[in-house]
C-alpha cells in the first residue's frame, strides 16, 4: 500500500468515525425530552412537534450552505465549523432549558440542526470514494458509527438523569463535538467531485418513473419510521405504560444497540444472503416489534418490542440505498438527488407530524403510525419486486 493510499484510508476512517457525532447530535432530542419534563401532565406535544420541526429545518438549511463553505474554505474547515457550531448550540440549549420559553429552545434546535446537517454533508463528501467502491459496506459501516453515537447520547442522558440537572447534562454532551472539532482541525481533506448530479429536467423525469417513485416512497416511510420511534419511544413508554424515565430511556438504548449490532451483522452476512430476502425479513421483524409495542402493557413487552424494532430496521435503510444506487447511478446519499432528496426531507418531518397528531389523538399514535408505515414498507418492497420482474431490471 502506498503512502498516499494509507493517508486516504486514515482520512476515510476518521470521516466514518465522524458519524458517531452525527448520530449523537440527532438522537439527543429524543433522549432529552423526558429530562425537559415533557412526560408530565399536562403534555405539550405541540411543543415537541415544533422541536422536531425546527431540527429538520436546520438540517435542510445546511444542505444549501454546505457546498458554498466547502468551495470557499475547504472540507476540513466545514467539519470543524460544524462541530463547533453544534457544541455552541448544546451550550445554548443548556442555558435555555425549562422553564424558559419553548421558543428559545426552538432557535437552539434550528442551530443544532444546521450543525448536524453541515457535518453530515462534510462526512458524506469525505467518504465519496469509499461509497463508490462499496456502497452497501460503506453505508453499513457508517451506520454502525451512527448507531454508536445515538446509543452514547441515550446512555449519557439515562445514566445522568437522576444525578445531574438538565443544563449540566447538556454541557457534558457539548464535549463530544468539541473533541471532534479538535480532531478535524488537525486533518486535511480533498473535496471529492459529486459526480453526475441530475439536472432539473432529469429530476422531473424521475417523477414519471414508477421505479423511482416506489423507491422514494420506500425511503420516505422507512426514514420516517426509524426517526419517529427514535424521537418518541421514551415519551410513549412513560405515558402509555407508566414506565419511569430511566426505564424508558433504557429501552431507547436497547433500540439503538440492536440497530447498531444489526448493521454489524448485516455487513457480515450480505455476501451470503439474497438482499431481497434479507430486506423482507428485516421489515417483517420490525413489523412484529411495532405490534408488540402497540399491544403490550408491561415493561418486558416494551423491551422486546424495542429489540425487534432495532434489529428489524438495521439492514433496511442501507439495502434500499444500495438498490437505488444500482438503478439510478447519479444517486449519492450526501448530495442532491432529485426525488430521493424530497423523500428524505419528508421523512425528517415525520417526528414533528407525530407531535401534532399526538396532541389531537393521544400518545398511542406514536407507535400506531409507524406500525402503518412499516406495513407500507413491506408492501412497497413487494411492489418493487413486481416492477423489477415486469421491466426485467
The pLDDT, as a whole number, for residue 316 is: 83
Tell which residue, 169, 145, 205, 124, has the closest CA to residue 21. 145
| Mean per-residue pLDDT, 366-385 | 89
**Cα–Cα dist 281/388, whole Å:** 19
**Cα–Cα dist 130/144, whole Å:** 15
Fold topology of 199-393: Growth Hormone; Chain: A; (1.20.1250)
Peptide bond into 111 cis (omega under 30): no
C-alpha cell of 248? 424508558
CA distances from 177 to 212, 295, 346, 369, 390 (A): 36, 39, 27, 33, 48
Indicate the SS3 state at residue 204: helix
Q: Do 1-191 and 199-393 have matching folds?
A: yes
The pLDDT, as a whole number, for residue 7 is: 44
CB 38 within 8 A of CB 48: yes
Taking only the tens place, the pLDDT of each residue in 75-124 is: 889 999 999 999 999 999 999 999 999 999 999 999 999 999 999 888 88
| Look-up of cell digits 414508477 | 210
The pLDDT, as a whole number, for residue 278 is: 83
DSSP 8-state code for residue 270: G
Q: Which of 177-181, 211-215, 354-358, 364-368 has the lowest mean pLDDT?
A: 211-215
For domain 1-191, the CATH class is mainly alpha
The pLDDT, as a whole number, for residue 276 is: 76
CB 113 within 8 A of CB 61: yes
| Look-up of cell digits 488537525 | 186
* Neighbouring C-alpha atoms within 13 Å toward the C-beta of 160: 19
CA distances from 248 to 161, 242, 256 (A): 12, 9, 13
Taking only the tens place, the pLDDT of each residue in 36-81 is: 999 888 889 999 999 999 999 999 898 888 888 888 888 889 999 9
pLDDT of residue 194 exceeding 70, the answer is: no
Q: Place 195 in a pLDDT band, splitting at 50, 70 and 90.
A: very low
Q: What is the mean pLDDT of the chain?
A: 84
**Cα–Cα dist 207/321, whole Å:** 18
pLDDT of residue 307 exceeding 60, the answer is: yes
C-alpha cell of 213? 417513485
CA distances from 316 to 177, 187, 217, 224, 293 (A): 28, 33, 13, 13, 20
Indicate the SS3 state at residue 313: helix
Q: Place 305 in a pLDDT band, splitting at 50, 70 and 90.
A: very high
The pLDDT, as a whole number, for residue 333 is: 60
Q: Which of 94-103, 166-175, 345-354 has the lowest mean pLDDT?
A: 345-354
Domain ranges across the chain: 1-191, 199-393
The pLDDT, as a whole number, for residue 135 is: 64
Amino acid at each position: 500500500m502506498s503512502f498516499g493510499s494509507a493517508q486516504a484510508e486514515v482520512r476515510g476512517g476518521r470521516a466514518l468515525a465522524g458519524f458517531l457525532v452525527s448520530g449523537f447530535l440527532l438522537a439527543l432530542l429524543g433522549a432529552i425530552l423526558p429530562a425537559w419534563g415533557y412526560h408530565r401532565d399536562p403534555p405539550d406535544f405541540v411543543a415537541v412537534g415544533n422541536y422536531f420541526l425546527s431540527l429538520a429545518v436546520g438540517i435542510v438549511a445546511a444542505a444549501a450552505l454546505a457546498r458554498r463553505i466547502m468551495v470557499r474554505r475547504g472540507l476540513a474547515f466545514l467539519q470543524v465549523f460544524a462541530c463547533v457550531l453544534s457544541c455552541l448550540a448544546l451550550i445554548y440549549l443548556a442555558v435555555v432549558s425549562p422553564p424558559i420559553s419553548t421558543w428559545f429552545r426552538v432557535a437552539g434546535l434550528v442551530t443544532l440542526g444546521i450543525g448536524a446537517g453541515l457535518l453530515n454533508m462534510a462526512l458524506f463528501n469525505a467518504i465519496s470514494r469509499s461509497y463508490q467502491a462499496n456502497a452497501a459496506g460503506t453505508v453499513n459501516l457508517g451506520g454502525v458509527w451512527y448507531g454508536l453515537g445515538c446509543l452514547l447520547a441515550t446512555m449519557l442522558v439515562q445514566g445522568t438523569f437522576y444525578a445531574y440537572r438538565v443544563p449540566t447534562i447538556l454541557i457534558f454532551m457539548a464535549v463530544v463535538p468539541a473533541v471532534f472539532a479538535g480532531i478535524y482541525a488537525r486533518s486535511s481533506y480533498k473535496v471529492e467531485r459529486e459526480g453526475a448530479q441530475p439536472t432539473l429536467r432529469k429530476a422531473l423525469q424521475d417523477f414519471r418513473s414508477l421505479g423511482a417513485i416506489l423507491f422514494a416512497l420506500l425511503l420516505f416511510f422507512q426514514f420516517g419510521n426509524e426517526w419517529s420511534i427514535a424521537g418518541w419511544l421514551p415519551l410513549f413508554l412513560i405515558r402509555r405504560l407508566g414506565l419511569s424515565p430511566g426505564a424508558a430511556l433504557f429501552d431507547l438504548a436497547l433500540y439503538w444497540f440492536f440497530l447498531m449490532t444489526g448493521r454489524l451483522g448485516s455487513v457480515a452476512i450480505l455476501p451470503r444472503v439474497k438482499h431481497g430476502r434479507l430486506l423482507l425479513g428485516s421489515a417483517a421483524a420490525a413489523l412484529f416489534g411495532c405490534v408488540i409495542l402497540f399491544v403490550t402493557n408491561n415493561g418486558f413487552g416494551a423491551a422486546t418490542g424495542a429489540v425487534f424494532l432495532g434489529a428489524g430496521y438495521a439492514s433496511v435503510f442501507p439495502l434500499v440505498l444500495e438498490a437505488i444506487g444500482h438503478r439510478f447511478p447519479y444517486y449519492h446519499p450526501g448530495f442532491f438527488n432529485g426525488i430521493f432528496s424530497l423523500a428524505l426531507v419528508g421523512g425528517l418531518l415525520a417526528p414533528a407530524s407525530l407531535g401534532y397528531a399526538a396532541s389531537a389523538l393521544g400518545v398511542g399514535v406514536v407507535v400506531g403510525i409507524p406500525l402503518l408505515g412499516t406495513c407500507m414498507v413491506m408492501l412497497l418492497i413487494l411492489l418493487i419486486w413486481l416492477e423489477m420482474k415486469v421491466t426485467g431490471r
